[in-house]
């Protein structure tokens, strides 16, 4: 029998307990051992909850209970999650977590401790919720050199962009609706400013290259500047607008990463990813294009991934599953150096001659009832785009084009 | 240093050698050891090939070379592949294979031997080519009870159906074109009759439920009956036609499996899977919908998956990665018992009254320039459909609707 302690009895923690209890028989068969939730750590009490007797308020009880084999961390945030997880790993206990902040910041350290202590630190749920992506990346695509990861990594913003696209509504309107439906939080900055996606692409990129990519180094833009008009142009260009977390190599030894809204072709596999669904597109030098799709958030999908990590911890009791993520810093190339096309909207008072003098030859895009100058540049460096754009004080929006 | 013997130097075997040699540095980092191809078994010689000196014609040389650690099987077919693989596993050598016939027939036996001998029998490439699906199913979705697997599992037929949909051409025409392009074989039965997809859904279903599903038990229909007109109706219904390998439970203890063309909604994630791409849609009771997308065939994508299995064998030298696939037979429920809707086309001489007398209330579908009766039935059992259809001798086509 394997005893699990769950830290945090919020949405995900309660989901993990529910998954482990609901699917107990099938999980026991796959794990090869019975898995029992012994403690639940939370500051609150849960009178009436079927697991109310398992709730403890002091981590020491879990730390000192020698029968605990596996710790599940669903508290979120860096502290005290980091202290508790580190303590557990140093005791030789395996840990499964859904906590992207913790993994993005301390992934390399915690994997290192798990390796030393012959246990495991698993975090499938920290990126893409229920979507299997961490194992595919670290165990299935190991014969490839990864050349691109592009992910729709945040369900809230994908829901909002889908609504804007399908119903033609504007940002503020759709944010309000998402908040009413519980898809967006009252303080939605982490989602709409791209901070959530930033942590996730940092984790995926660190795993793809085996070194620590600090999320602070990633150029991050959210979707607050996207308007209903942008979708009119997108439609005209047979493209759609997605918030992508993206890292890629250019074949000349450069590695780039960013989070920003991008225009992608209607035929791109990511274009069909609607509503709160997430997907991660990975291109390897041998496997070519792959994509992993599913629910990137939500109680049970996320809990399913955490519980599957618990199963893997049971199957590998006493052995460490090799995962390369060294603490050495992964250096990104200068963000200004990459070349792409840009979609730009500016006031109609500027002439095409002035525009082309600054940006070089452009393709003008027109949509009905919008009076302005809108165009797609040729392929140019990010630094070149900004140099040209700085000459104008009436740029309404710029969206990068992913090709 | 790890020595690998590759059995079969055809497309996939040569691809595996190419992947291991091209990405040698990155693979060594991930595997934690240098991987060297020591022998290549083939009946042919390959004068001028950079690896010509590695070619041997007698398996005994590999069997008796004590330095060989891992055997890669890319010969295809059941024999002699089965004998060679079994011999290697009994010697305690791990095996990676791309051979779906071998895995579908002997998966349970070979996993059993690997378990006993503390080595591994891995076959990620046998389903979905380069798409990671075996590990996601056996290691990531282990906390779920799998309720549905629906796969576009054959690239040739998906290419053909995509062409028919986009260009309006007929089956024979598109088959000829696919053969000229090398996407379809001269003897294309394995693809177009669904036999290839049948082996693959048998493997996935066996892994999902941990028992042996015999592929002979799976109701299998190909795409030879699909015509250009069917796509006109599909368009009208906002659906597309895909050859699906499918297994599912109905929540009342029944398990079904089949391979056949189906009408799926334009918004289904599988609908966007075009050309030679494959995808596997998996629904679990906790994780909800997931999908895995990529190149289901082709030299390097398939070889990438085999080589990643080799990396996993190296990482797990001396330990067995637990995978449940017992030899007990997985029994399917009677195929006639499942309920769904059917799209039916028949001669225009039949009246709607006669049709509804047999099938119950139907929705008539009309497209321009096709003079016939076409309709969608209500939800009815497969056996009920056939009982009704048997009353008519002028049914032109029937396609099941996936909802």
Mean pLDDT, chain B, rounded, equals 96
Q: What pLDDT does residue B251 have?
A: 84
CB A263 within 8 A of CB A142: no
Average pLDDT score over residue span B331-337: 94
> With an 8 Å Cβ cutoff, are A286 and B23 in contact?
yes
Which tokens in the block code for residue B329? Answer: 């037979």
Question: How far apart (Å, rounded) are the C-alpha atoms in residues A28 and A314?
Answer: 10
- Sheet arrangement for strand B68-73: B55-56, B35-41, B2-7, B68-73, B94-97, B121-122
> Mutation test of the interface with chain A: which of B24, B27, B140, B295, choosing the one with the most A Cβ atoms within 10 A?
B140
> With an 8 Å Cβ cutoff, are B287 and A274 in contact?
no
DSSP letter string over A62-78? HHH-TTEEEEEE---SS
ipTM score: 0.95
Contacting residues of B for A307, CB less than 8 Å apart: 142-143, 286
> With an 8 Å Cβ cutoff, are B142 and A286 in contact?
no
Number of Cβ within 10 Å of residue B166's Cβ equals 11
Q: What pLDDT does residue B183 have?
A: 84
CA distance to partner chain B, nearest, from residue A328 (Å): 15
Contacting residues of B for A135, CB less than 8 Å apart: 132, 135-136, 139-140
Which among A272, A287, A311 has the least Cβ separation from residue B304?
Answer: A287
Which tokens in the block code for residue A126? Answer: 């920290």
Counting beta carbons within 10 angstroms of the beta carbon of residue B28, is it exposed (0 to 12), middle (13 to 18) or buried (19 or more)? middle
C-alpha B43: how far from its chain's center? Answer: 28
CB B60 within 8 A of CB B88: no
Which among A26, A274, A294 has the least Cβ separation from residue B145?
Answer: A26
> With an 8 Å Cβ cutoff, are A141 and B308 in contact?
yes
Question: How far apart (Å, rounded) are the C-alpha atoms in residues A226 and A161?
Answer: 9
Q: What pLDDT does residue B197 have?
A: 98
CA distance to partner chain A, nearest, from residue B333 (Å): 20
pLDDT per residue over B121-158, tens digit each?
999 999 999 999 999 999 999 999 999 999 999 999 99
Rg (CA), chain B: 23
> With an 8 Å Cβ cutoff, are A305 and B19 in contact?
no
Closest chain A residue to B302, measured at CA: A287
With cut-offs at 50, 70 and 90, classify the pLDDT of residue B181: confident
CA distance to partner chain B, nearest, from residue A371 (Å): 34
CA distance to partner chain B, nearest, from residue A237 (Å): 19
CB B303 within 8 A of CB B225: no
With cut-offs at 50, 70 and 90, classify the pLDDT of residue B186: confident
Closest chain B residue to A129, measured at CA: B287
Q: What pLDDT does residue A403 have?
A: 85
CB A131 within 8 A of CB B290: yes
Choosing from B38, B105, B200, B299, which is the catalytic residue?
A: B200
Choosing from A38, A105, A163, A200, which is the catalytic residue?
A: A200
pLDDT per residue over A89-142, tens digit each?
999 999 999 999 999 999 999 999 999 999 999 999 999 999 999 999 999 999
Question: How far apart (Å, rounded) are the C-alpha atoms in residues A342 and A400?
Answer: 5
Using the CB atoms, write b or e for B273-308: b if 16+ within 10 Å: bbebbbbbbbbbbbbbbbbbbbbbbbbbbbbbbbbb
| CA torsion through residues B290, B263, A234, A238, sign | positive
Closest chain B residue to A310, measured at CA: B143
Q: What pLDDT does residue B394 have?
A: 95
Q: What pLDDT does residue A181 have?
A: 87
pLDDT per residue over A310-338, tens digit each?
999 999 999 999 999 999 999 999 989 99
Confidence check: pLDDT of B54 > 90: yes
> With an 8 Å Cβ cutoff, are B286 and A26 in contact?
no
Closest chain A residue to B131, measured at CA: A290
Which among B286, B294, B307 has the least Cβ separation from residue A143?
Answer: B307
Strands A2-7 and A35-41: parallel
Report helix, strand and coil shares of chain B as percent, to nearest 5: 40, 25, 35
Report helix, strand and coil shares of chain A as percent, to nearest 5: 40, 25, 35
Q: Is the peptide bond before B341 cis (omega within 30 degrees of 0)?
A: no
With cut-offs at 50, 70 and 90, classify the pLDDT of residue A182: confident
Question: How far apart (Å, rounded) are the C-alpha atoms in residues A72 and B279?
Answer: 32
> With an 8 Å Cβ cutoff, are A286 and B301 in contact?
yes
Average pLDDT score over residue span B255-265: 98
> With an 8 Å Cβ cutoff, are A144 and B319 in contact?
no
Average pLDDT score over residue span B313-323: 94
Look at residues A238, A271, A244, A241 and name the one whose alpha carbon lies nearest to residue A257: A244
CB A269 within 8 A of CB A287: no
B322 is catalytic: no
Contacting residues of A for B29, CB less than 8 Å apart: 210, 324
Opening angle at CA A230, ends A224 and A232, nearest 5 = 145
Question: How far apart (Å, rounded) are the C-alpha atoms in residues A130 and A123?
Answer: 11
Least confident of A250-264, A346-360, B175-189: B175-189
How many Cβ pairs within 8 Å bridge chains A and B? Answer: 193
CA distance to partner chain B, nearest, from residue A325 (Å): 10
Closest chain A residue to B279, measured at CA: A291
CB A86 within 8 A of CB A119: no
Average pLDDT score over residue span B227-246: 97
Question: Using N-to-C axis directions, what is the helix angle for B155-167 and B228-236, rounded to 10°?
Answer: 70
CB B125 within 8 A of CB B263: no
> With an 8 Å Cβ cutoff, are A288 and B271 in contact?
no
CA distance to partner chain A, nearest, from residue B123 (Å): 11
**Residue B260 forms beta bridges with which residues?**
B244
Closest chain A residue to B291, measured at CA: A293
> With an 8 Å Cβ cutoff, are B124 and A140 in contact?
yes
> With an 8 Å Cβ cutoff, are A294 and B287 in contact?
yes
CA distance to partner chain B, nearest, from residue A399 (Å): 25
């Amino acid at each position: 029998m394997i005893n699990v302690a769950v830290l945090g009895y919020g949405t995900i923690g309660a989901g993990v307990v529910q998954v482990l209890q609901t699917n107990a028989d099938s999980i026991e068969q796959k794990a090869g051992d019975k898995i029992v939730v012994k403690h639940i750590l939370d500051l609150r009490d849960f009178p009436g909850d079927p697991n109310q007797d398992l709730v403890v308020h002091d981590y020491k009880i879990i730390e000192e209970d020698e029968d605990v084999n596996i710790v599940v961390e669903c508290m979120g945030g860096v502290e005290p999650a980091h202290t508790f997880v580190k303590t557990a790993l140093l005791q030789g206990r395996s840990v499964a977590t859904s906590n992207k902040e913790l993994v993005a910041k301390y992934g390399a350290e915690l994997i290192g401790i798990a390796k030393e202590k012959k246990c495991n630190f698993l975090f499938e749920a920290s990126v893409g919720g229920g979507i299997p992506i961490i194992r595919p990346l670290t165990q299935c695509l190991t014969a490839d050199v990864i050349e691109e990861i592009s992910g729709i990594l945040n369900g809230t913003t994908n829901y909002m962009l889908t609504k804007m696209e399908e119903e033609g509504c504007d940002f503020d309107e759709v944010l309000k609706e998402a908040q009413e439906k519980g898809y967006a939080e009252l303080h939605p900055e982490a989602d709409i400013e791209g901070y959530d996606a930033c942590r996730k692409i940092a984790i995926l990129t660190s795993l793809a290259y085996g070194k620590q990519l600090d999320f602070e180094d990633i150029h991050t833009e959210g979707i607050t500047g996207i308007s209903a008009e942008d979708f009119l142009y997108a439609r005209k260009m047979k493209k759609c607008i997605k918030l992508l977390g993206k890292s890629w190599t250019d074949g000349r030894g450069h590695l780039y990463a960013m989070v920003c809204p991008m225009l992608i072709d209607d035929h791109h596999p990511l274009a069909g990813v609607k509503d709160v669904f997430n997907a991660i597109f990975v291109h390897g030098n041998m496997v070519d294009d792959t994509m992993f799709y599913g629910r990137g958030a939500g109680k049970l999908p996320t809990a399913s991934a955490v519980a599957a990590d618990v199963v893997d911890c049971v199957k590998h009791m006493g052995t460490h599953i090799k995962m390369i993520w060294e603490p050495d810093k992964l250096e990104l190339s200068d963000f200004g150096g990459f070349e792409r096309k840009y979609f730009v909207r500016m006031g109609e008072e500027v002439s095409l001659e002035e525009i082309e003098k600054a940006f070089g030859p452009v393709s003008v895009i027109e949509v009905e009832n919008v009076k302005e100058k809108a165009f797609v540049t040729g392929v140019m460096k990010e630094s070149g785009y900004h140099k040209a754009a700085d000459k104008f004080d009436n740029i309404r929006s710029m969206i990068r084009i992913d090709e």
